[in-house]
Amino acid sequence: MTNINTAVKIGKLTLRNPIVTGSGTFGFGPEMANIVDLNKLGAVVVKSTSREPRLGNPTPRIVETPSGILNAIGLQNSGVDNFIAEKLPFLRNYDVPIIVNLVGTEVADYVHLAEKLTAAGGVHGLEINISCPNVSHGCDFAVDPALTAELIREVRKVTDLTLITKLSPNVTDMVPIARAAVDAGSDALSLINTLIGTAIDVRKRKFRLANITGGLSGPAVKPIALRCVWQVHRALPNVPLIGMGGIMSATDAIEFLLAGATAIAIGTATFVNPTASTDIAAGLEAYLIENGIADVNELIGAVTQ
Amino acid sequence: MPHQVFARVLSNDPIIAGHQVITCEAPTLAAEAQPGHFVNVLTAERYDPLLRKPFSVYTVDRDRGQISLLYSIVGATTASMSRKRPGEMLDMVGPLGGRIFQADTRPDTTHIMVGGGYGVPPLVFLSRELRLAQSAPNIKFIIGARRKDLLLCEAELVAAGVDARVATEDGSHGTSGRVTDVLEPLLLENSGLPVAVYCCGPTPMMKAVAELCLKLGVTCQLSVEVAMPCGIGVCMGCVLDLTDGRRVRCCVDGPVFEAGEVKW
Ligand SMILES: Cc1cc2nc3c(=O)[nH]c(=O)nc-3n(C[C@H](O)[C@H](O)[C@H](O)COP(=O)(O)OP(=O)(O)OC[C@H]3O[C@@H](n4cnc5c(N)ncnc54)[C@H](O)[C@@H]3O)c2cc1C
Ligand SMILES: Cc1cc2nc3c(=O)[nH]c(=O)nc-3n(C[C@H](O)[C@H](O)[C@H](O)COP(=O)(O)O)c2cc1C
């Protein structure tokens, strides 16, 4: 057991295992610390944090669709100053890399956030959310390689933390955006964010979400997410990818590793099973032991036709 | 602490049309659950419906390590629950809820429970806990329903010696009208005396009860019902706007709030 390696590298970070939390599905840490031992995770990725506090969208914000959910939370959060003062001290008590997901509307917002969070201490990585589908302008960066490159270049200038760009699947081809982010200095990529969708209540003849559209996540999106990971991995085989989208079990996680992901984020699964992240980490380790695989890195991109 | 439990079903019986009580062996939940706590139930095996659904804890038997839920069959989860047989397992996460009912501690308080539909069970639990904690608490229980055949829990409250009063909208049993038609005279009768109202039921009922209590200056705790996708405070789906401007999560910042806090 002890000679099995589960550790993977994402930029400068060494994760004790490939399992991380999906931004927006694990709160800021304290919410989950009673339920899950944070020190058993590869990293904790916290909810999107913006420059100013945001109240988010009106309700209903989440509706269920077959094997999935549509969400339009609208990035409700208390702002970066509150995060640093109120949430970060708690997270510093844990021996786990902390990755903060940043969101803004302009390049200057992201630069401001990156500077503050780098200076704060106790933050190990920044995940740049260029792809939130639930706010106006949220997807402007994600659909344009030139804008993505400019944003990442500017953020790169102000931080030496591991930089991860979170990509949107709501584009014709993710590869040019992925390449632009990496060329501009992103150490790694996260994919996928949610897919834009909607749902209608036929009785009321009304949209079921107050925001009309929302982001689809959960098992319904898994085949698409897996395809995205494989496409980006094939184009950029040396770039570490954090794969996510509908991962509910260790088997699902292994599929993503085989498709080319180096780490795996657990999102919606946490809503269904609060200990999904650590259960999947344990399940992955058990799989390695049972199959005599000495190093989890052997699985990455190992799918064949 | 919230945790997942696969609990053996001991019984699962209809009580009135479309409503059942499921009792399970769940010692850890029985030990921890307090009135106002809920559990999140999952019945689907292949992700449809994907999310768990919340149910208030109805009874606990701490000696035997059992809890029960009283549920109204309205959709996929409750339909699957209704088919569970003794010996099968029920997948629950609980106890959930950050702020739950707090028994008023002023001496000689009259505790008034106002419940409608599946809002009645958590108040039955609260009444029982009050009776366990105090020798002879003064409890008045008001149950509302549209019709007599939809009334929940009256017989068991009466059997336990609780002063239970009923309002039916069609007048088929008890006072003809709504719970507030029974509550208002009771509050006026007790004006100047320590009174605490605890309420759980359909939103329009809770709003009417809250407004009445605010008007008469009576403290009132409400267990608010909104859809709770995760129940553990991380999804930000069940938010509620409070009168002080805060936007809070119903599942972990509630589900129990004071009448004056809720912005309807
Ligand atoms: C804190 C809390 C405590 C609760 N306690 C209890 C309790 O003790 N007992 C109890 O019976 N219930 C309780 N509830 C309510 C219960 O959680 C819900 O009724 C739950 O949704 C039932 O799940 P279901 O899968 O059976 O029904 P669902 O499929 O979730 O359906 C619920 C309702 O939504 C409607 N609906 C479903 N899908 C759609 C759609 N696509 N478009 C429009 N409308 C739709 C249905 O017609 C139905 O009326 C509680 C809720 C909360 C928040
Ligand atoms: C309720 C909810 C809130 C989310 N909030 C964020 C967010 O704030 N920032 C972000 O980058 N992604 C957010 N996401 C996207 C997830 O991190 C993840 O990319 C997506 O849900 C796919 O993974 P899953 O199917 O495992 O959930 C959110 C997803 C959900 C369901």
For residue range B132-171, what is the model confidence (pLDDT) as tens digits? 998 889 999 999 999 999 999 999 999 999 999 999 999 9
Element (H, E) at B125: helix B120-133
Pick the CATH number of A8-56+74-194+217-299 from 3.40.50.300, 3.40.50.920, 3.40.640.10, 3.20.20.70: 3.20.20.70
Q: Is residue B102 part of a domain?
A: no
Q: DSSP for A232-296?
A: HHHHSTTS-EEE-SS--SHHHHHHHHHHT-SEEEE-THHHHSTTHHHHHHHHHHHHHHHTT-SBG
- Residue where a domain stops, chosen among B95, B123, B158: B95
Domain residues for the domain of B35 are 3-95
Specify whether B206 is located in the same domain as B261.
Answer: no
Give the residue among A184, A142, A136 at the shortest CA–CA distance from A166.
Answer: A142
**Smallest CA separation from ligand 2 atom 2, residue:** A24
Q: Is the pLDDT of residue A203 over 90?
A: yes
Q: In 3-state terms, what secondary structure has residue B172?
A: coil
Q: Is the pLDDT of residue A135 over 60?
A: no
- Write out chain B residues lying below 8 Å of A61, CB-based: 236-237, 239
Q: Is the pLDDT of residue A288 over 60?
A: yes
**pLDDT score of A2:** 61
Q: Is the pLDDT of residue A139 over 60?
A: no
The answer to whether the CB of B257 is under 6 A from ligand 1 is no
Closest Cα of chain B to A22: distance in Å?
11
Average pLDDT for chain A: 95
Q: Is the pLDDT of residue A208 over 70?
A: yes
Specify whether B115 is located in the same domain as B211.
Answer: yes
Specify whether B206 is located in the same domain as B246.
Answer: no
Specify whether B184 is located in the same domain as B244.
Answer: no
**pLDDT score of B135:** 85
CA A10 vs CA A17, A125, B62: distances in Å: 11, 9, 48
* Nearest-by-Cβ selection for A274 from B46, B93, B247: B93
Q: Is the pLDDT of residue B21 over 90?
A: yes
- Write out chain B residues lying below 8 Å of A211, CB-based: none
**pLDDT score of A57:** 95
Give the residue among A222, A221, A237 at the shortest CA–CA distance from A303.
Answer: A237
Active-site residue (options: A132, A177, A239, A299): A132
- Residue where a domain stops, chosen among B32, B62, B95: B95
Give the residue among A84, A83, A99, A80 at the shortest CA–CA distance from A38.
Answer: A99
Q: Which residue of A has its CA nearest to B5?
A: A273
Specify whether B149 is located in the same domain as B81.
Answer: no
pLDDT tens digits, residue range B31-53?
999 999 999 999 998 999 999 99
Average pLDDT for chain B: 96
The answer to whether the CB of A19 is under 6 A from ligand 2 is no
**pLDDT score of A279:** 98
Best of A25, A59, A217, A249 to substitute, by most chain B Cβ atoms within 10 angstroms, is A59
Q: Which residue of B has its CA nearest to A69?
A: B50
- Per-residue pLDDT, averaged over A249-263, amounts to 98
Distant-in-sequence, close-in-space partners of B53: CB < 8 Å, separation ≥ 6: B40, B41, B75, B77, B78
The answer to whether the CB of A77 is under 6 A from ligand 2 is no
**Smallest CA separation from ligand 1 atom 36, residue:** B75
Specify whether B130 is located in the same domain as B219.
Answer: yes
**Smallest CA separation from ligand 1 atom 14, residue:** B55
- Does B252 contact A at CB distance below 8 Å? yes
The answer to whether the CB of A218 is under 6 A from ligand 2 is yes
C-beta atoms of A34 and B4 within 8 A: no
* Domain CATH for B180: 3.40.50.80
Model confidence band, residue A3 (pLDDT cutoffs 50, 70, 90):
confident
Specify whether B66 is located in the same domain as B143.
Answer: no
Domain count along chain B: 3
Q: Is residue B12 part of a domain?
A: yes
C-beta atoms of B237 and A73 within 8 A: yes
* Domain CATH for B32: 2.40.30.10
Q: DSSP for B22-40?
A: EEEE-HHHHHH--TT-EEE
- Does A53 contact B at CB distance below 8 Å? no
Give the ipTM of the model, two decimals please: 0.94
Rounded distance from Cα B233 to ligand 2 centre (Å): 15
Rounded distance from Cα A64 to ligand 1 centre (Å): 12
Residues 85-104, chain B, touching A (beta carbon < 8 A): 93
- Per-residue pLDDT, averaged over A226-246, amounts to 98
Q: Is the pLDDT of residue B109 over 80?
A: yes
Specify whether B169 is located in the same domain as B246.
Answer: no
Q: Is residue B101 part of a domain?
A: no
Strands B163-168 and B219-223: unpaired
* Nearest-by-Cβ selection for B50 from A31, A60, A218: A218
**pLDDT score of A133:** 60
Specify whether B210 is located in the same domain as B252.
Answer: no
Q: Which residue of B has its CA nearest to A209?
A: B237
- Residue where a domain stops, chosen among B36, B63, B95: B95
- Does B74 contact A at CB distance below 8 Å? no
- Per-residue pLDDT, averaged over A54-77, amounts to 95
Ligand that comes closest to the CA of residue B52: 1
**DSSP state letter for B167:** E
Element (H, E) at A179: helix A175-183
Among A57-71, A126-140, A164-178, the minimum mean pLDDT is found in A126-140
- Does B230 contact A at CB distance below 8 Å? yes
Specify whether B116 is located in the same domain as B213.
Answer: yes
- Per-residue pLDDT, averaged over A80-89, amounts to 96
**pLDDT score of A142:** 79
Active site residue A132: yes
Q: Is the pLDDT of residue A143 over 90?
A: no
Which of the two residues, A120 and B135, has the higher pLDDT score?
A: A120
Q: Is residue B144 part of a domain?
A: yes
CA B151 vs CA B12, B54, B178: distances in Å: 19, 21, 13
C-beta atoms of B50 and A219 within 8 A: yes
Best of B39, B42, B232, B234 to substitute, by most chain A Cβ atoms within 10 angstroms, is B234
C-beta atoms of B232 and A31 within 8 A: yes
* CA A270/CA B237 separation, integer angstroms: 14
Q: Is residue B26 part of a domain?
A: yes
Specify whether B62 is located in the same domain as B161.
Answer: no
Best of A82, A247, A271 to substitute, by most chain B Cβ atoms within 10 angstroms, is A271
Specify whether B137 is located in the same domain as B206.
Answer: yes
Q: Is residue B104 part of a domain?
A: no
**pLDDT score of A131:** 74
* Domain CATH for B237: 2.10.240.10
- Per-residue pLDDT, averaged over A235-245, amounts to 98
Written as six digits, the tokens of B29 are: 């939940």
